[in-house]
Structure 1
């Protein structure tokens, strides 16, 4: 099954702690994965950042919410146990437990209001509504904004001249660490009879080797024949490395072709190009920065 929303972990986690013992999050991960019969694929599903498994993130937030309602408590970092209030709730034999049920406790209401009601959608009659954790909501918004930015970048690139695109590619490769400065790093070729090569850039600051570039604003999908022409130009230069960059995309046949040839050729399509521009701050500017922080547990160790 798919990983349940984080509210679905509330009741099973409270039931897990009903023995009165102290449990670790590691125990909860295993026990609740078994409870919901999560597959290996389910447990390998990651947040968009790729830094944490989705099911672990949702279990950790379930514990945090139960703690805010004083149903669980944490004697120390990474562990939890049930409280008297938690035992009383379980004694009422609840069939389900959602955010709206936690709002019977004033401590949770205060927490909910203080945090702007990020899960306000849960305050409905539809108890089965799936609600994302704060990380998931934040990352989903980030990915949406990044996707919109990428689409706008690609549109602006396509609206400019071929010469602008060739220079953009050189600037990007320099920003990525190839060749040193713009002045020393590379040269745009882009002339009739250039043999299918649009640019040359030094692989390193010393210029021990060079990378040949094909940079084309393409209308359709780039197929194997176009890549073969570029490879032929590389052979003519006795080149070992090449990069083919397009605002379009590549056919599967083209991708399979470059995986089996020498010289080494890297294909960068429009989506990858704008992702690199965003990652290396080329053509974009940071308007706001949000730092997501966690407790530094070492700070609180005595002795």
Structure 2
């Protein structure tokens, strides 16, 4: 099954502490997670940041929202306990507790709503998406911005000159840690005598290996004959590794041609090229930096 959203976890979180006794958060997470038929892969699925599992993050936010609504309290560090309001909710509340339902409590409504600034109009007030936790909303917004940036980058690359594209390939390989210095990389990518290869670049700063390159600033799809030609050129050079980069895409036949070979051939299409540029900060710059802070529980450890 799909991992439940954090609202679907609110009632199970309350039910786990229905006996009124304090419960350790770690135990709460295990009990709530085990109440759903989740596969091992789903239990281990992590957030985009990689720092926490999705299920634990959602249980944590369910606990936070219930606490802000006064249905749970935190009697001690790392502990959770149900309140009288929480017990009443289990008796008379809905089967699925939602953010909208919790807004009946003024303290929760104050917590949840993003207040407009002095210069903002009421219409600019932000209402967060209720199906996602704040961590997931932040990750989704970041992902959307990165995809939009990648689209813009690819459009710029496709409009650039062939010579600029060749330099971009060198810059990208350098940004990813290949090629040694820029001067060495420039020499390494000079046109070779083999028509199936555009250039070579050092695999590392010591030059212990080389990677052969083919770069196509095309709008049309790359088909198998081009890959076969590249593989043939690699074979003649007794090369072991090659990278074929295009601003367009590869046909299924082209992708099949690069599989199951003694030679390692990596295909980078336009979409992947743009993503690599974003990941390696090539052709783009940092616009804003937002720091997300969390409680440092060690600071409050008086033992």
How high is the TM-score relative to the length of structure 1? 0.86
More displaced stretch, 12-21 vs 107-116:
107-116
SS at match of 1:299: helix
- 1:131 aligns with 131
- C-alpha displacement at 1:298, in angstroms? 2.1
Contact 2:22 2:79 in 1 (8 A): yes
Matched, 1:108 2:108: yes
Contact 1:118 1:134 in 2 (8 A): no
More displaced stretch, 96-105 vs 163-172:
96-105
- C-alpha displacement at 1:63, in angstroms? 0.4
1:52-201 equivalences in 2 (<5 Å) = 52-113=52-113, 119=127, 131-187=131-187, 188-190=189-191, 194-201=194-201
Tell me: CA distance 1:93–1:265, structure 2 relative to 1, closer, same or farther (3 Å).
Answer: closer
RMSD: 2.5
More displaced stretch, 67-76 vs 277-286:
67-76
| Superimposed CA distance per residue, residues 59-83 of structure 1 (whole angstroms, 9 cap, x where no aligned partner) | 2111000111121122344431112
Tell me: CA distance 1:267–1:66, structure 2 relative to 1, closer, same or farther (3 Å).
Answer: same
- 1:213 aligns with 213
Contact 1:186 1:199 in 2 (8 A): no
Distance 1:208 1:2 in 2: 47
Distance 1:227 1:51 in 2: 39
Contact 2:114 2:127 in 1 (8 A): no
SS at match of 1:243: strand
Distance 2:74 2:281 in 1: 42
Please list every run of at least 4 consecutive aligned residues from structure 1 whose deviation after the TM superposition is greater than 6 angstroms: none
Distance 1:118 1:44 in 2: 32
Distance 2:115 2:18 in 1: 29
Tell me: CA distance 1:298–1:166, structure 2 relative to 1, closer, same or farther (3 Å).
Answer: same
Matched, 1:227 2:227: yes
Residue segments in structure 1 that go unaligned for 5+ positions in a row: 122-129
SS at match of 2:18: helix
| Superimposed CA distance per residue, residues 71-103 of structure 1 (whole angstroms, 9 cap, x where no aligned partner) | 112234443111233223334354442223322
Distance 1:181 1:269 in 2: 25
| Superimposed CA distance per residue, residues 101-154 of structure 1 (whole angstroms, 9 cap, x where no aligned partner) | 322333223322467776566xxxxxxxx5211112111111111111111111
More displaced stretch, 161-170 vs 86-95:
86-95
SS at match of 1:215: strand
Tell me: CA distance 1:77–1:242, structure 2 relative to 1, closer, same or farther (3 Å).
Answer: farther
